[in-house]
Amino acid sequence: LDSRRITDRDIDPHLLQQASANYRQLIATSATQQEILESAHGAIERYRSVVVEEGTLLANQFRMGVQDLSSFDAWLGKVADAVEIIENGQKPVGTRSQQGHAIAGWIEELLAARHIRDTVRMADLLEYEILPRIAA
């Protein structure tokens, strides 16, 4: 839009109410989901690394007996994003990712351990089941 690059996330009611006469040049491009994922590959890998690194720190804290679960709860939101990325990047359109499905199953186990505050089990699930699958 003129010299400003916008994405679908920038399109809001205010922008849509602008008259097209206000702009000199409009260039629209589109990409498939696969093309978007390929162009974001580096960022996706960095995000996965961050999620694994933070999960490893949490597992270590749980092994030391730290039961502050607020940072764990915040981290789970990042895991949900990572699982969504894994599912979108590893499956043909219209099918389910086996890796994402496996992680979701282990997350259920993790939440059950969290419910009873079994931090040793939480650390084991993170270290041996969940983090290796996110990192893969």
Could you report the per-residue pLDDT of 64-121, keeping only the tens digit for each? 998 888 999 999 999 999 888 878 765 554 445 577 778 989 999 999 999 999 999 9
20 assigned to some structural domain: no
110 assigned to some structural domain: yes
22 assigned to some structural domain: no
55, 124 Cβ separation under 8 angstroms? no
What's the number of domains the chain is made of? 1
Q: Token digits for 25?
A: 């040049």
96 assigned to some structural domain: yes
19 assigned to some structural domain: no
26, 3 Cβ separation under 8 angstroms? no
Domain that holds residue 78: 33-135
Dist. CA 85–CA 38, nearest whole Å = 12
**59-74 pLDDT, tens per residue?**
999 999 988 889 999 9
92 assigned to some structural domain: yes
Query: Which of 134, 128, 64 has its CA nearest to residue 99?
Result: 134
Q: What is the pTM of this model?
A: 0.72
7 assigned to some structural domain: no
25 assigned to some structural domain: no
Return the CA Rg of the chain: 20
Phi-psi region of 117 (alpha: psi -120 to 50; beta: other; left: phi over 0): left
